[in-house]
Amino acid sequence: MLSRKSFMISSCLAIATLLLAPSFACVAQKKAVGLQLYSLRVDLPKDLKGTIEKVGKAGFSQVETYGFSIKDQFWGLTPIEFKKLLAANGLTAVSNHFSLGSYLSDGNTSELKASIAAAKVLGSKYVTIPYLDQSIRKTAADYKKIAAKINVAAKMCKDAGLRLAYHNHDFEFEKFGETTGYQILLNETDKNLVDFELDLYWVARSGNDPLKLFKQNPGRFTMWHVKDMDKTNPELNAEVGTGSIDWKPIFAAAKLSGMKYFFVEHETNYKPNPIESVAASCDYIKKNIL
């Protein structure tokens, strides 16, 4: 027989466990560090299997793909073969950068449909637009046309059980009168359908404040690209924690942003080499930010 005191203590501990469980789950989710595979674009085509193995060993558990084509798929592997390779190394493809240039320029949906199909096979959450060709983004009216096409594509993604996201560089922040291309995309796309993947390096490089964007557009930035800016030359990347971007207040505002996933990315100025640079960023984030 339990004493009344023992019963009360046991009950309180049980209740506390239930109350704390969601918080622990949230923390665990945020400790999943992803990698945009474009960081390793030189190595992947030469040794796909070996490079993916290194990604798993470097401490990443999620990836964002790039480079898919209808002809070559993922460097010669079908989506199902590529998914098996990722799984063998403890990785999942949460998001994919698909080149949707033909759809955004002339409305041809074949590339978009193939991308959606590949994402479904991979078990991904997102189809992400990585870039806009300069020829289709010259005016504010162009950005409004792009936003309309993004809404249509996002509906197709939703029907397939996916989300569509848009990834920025710095050109979106160029002014068109009192607005910018980025603000047009935020305003003209359906909040219920379209998410944004905020590349924090390009936001800083363009002279904008990510915290201000979070406050103005809460919940819309469900994914981030995390790459640091070299302290002496802003045109170059740096391993996270060695550059000029203050990461702690940005991560502290993750809930306001709506961030669910983030991906380390490194494109230039590797020290000493691509895989060791992204591994150093991953290690810093786990030890000093999360």
Q: Which of 204, 207, 197, 213 is nearest to 259 (CA)?
A: 197
What does the pLDDT look like over 90-130, one tens digit per residue? Answer: 999 999 999 999 999 999 999 999 999 999 999 999 999 99
pLDDT of residue 3: 52
| Backbone angle region of 281, left / alpha / beta, with phi > 0 → left and psi within -120 to 50 → alpha | alpha
Kindly report, residue by residue over 71-84, the tens digit of the pLDDT.
999 999 999 999 99
Q: What is the pLDDT of residue 157?
A: 98
For residue 14, name the pLDDT band (cuts at 50, 70, 90): very low
The two three-digit tokens of residue 58, written as one number = 């470097």
Tell whether the model's pLDDT for residue 12 goes beyond 60: no
Count, residues in the chain: 290
Residues 119, 85 contacting (CB under 8 angstroms): no
Segment 25-43, tens digit of pLDDT: 343 345 699 999 999 999 9
Task: With beta carbons less than 8 A apart as the criterion, state whether 94 and 126 touch.
Answer: yes
Task: Give pTM, 2 decimals.
Answer: 0.89
Confidence of residue 284 (pLDDT cuts 50, 70, 90): very high
Task: Work out the mean pLDDT of the chain and round it to a whole number.
Answer: 92
Closest Cα partner for 146 from 134, 156, 157, 159? 134
Q: What is the pLDDT of residues 253-269, one digit of tens each?
A: 999 999 999 999 999 99
Digit-coded pLDDT (tens) for 212-225: 999 999 999 999 99
- Residue 179, φ and ψ in degrees, nearest 5: -130, 180
What is the SS3 string spanning the chain? CCCHHHHHHHHHHHHHHHHHHHHHHHHHHHCCCEEEHHHHCCCCCCCHHHHHHHHHHCCCCEEEECCCECCCEECCECHHHHHHHHHHCCCEEEEEECCCHHHHHHCCCHHHHHHHHHHHHHCCCEEEECCCCHHHCCCHHHHHHHHHHHHHHHHHHHHCCCEEEEECCCHHHCEECCEEHHHHHHHHCCCCCEEEEEEHHHHHHCCCCHHHHHHHCCCCCCEEEECEECCCCCCCEECCCCCCCCHHHHHHCHHHHCCCEEEECCCCCCCCCHHHHHHHHHHHHHHHCC
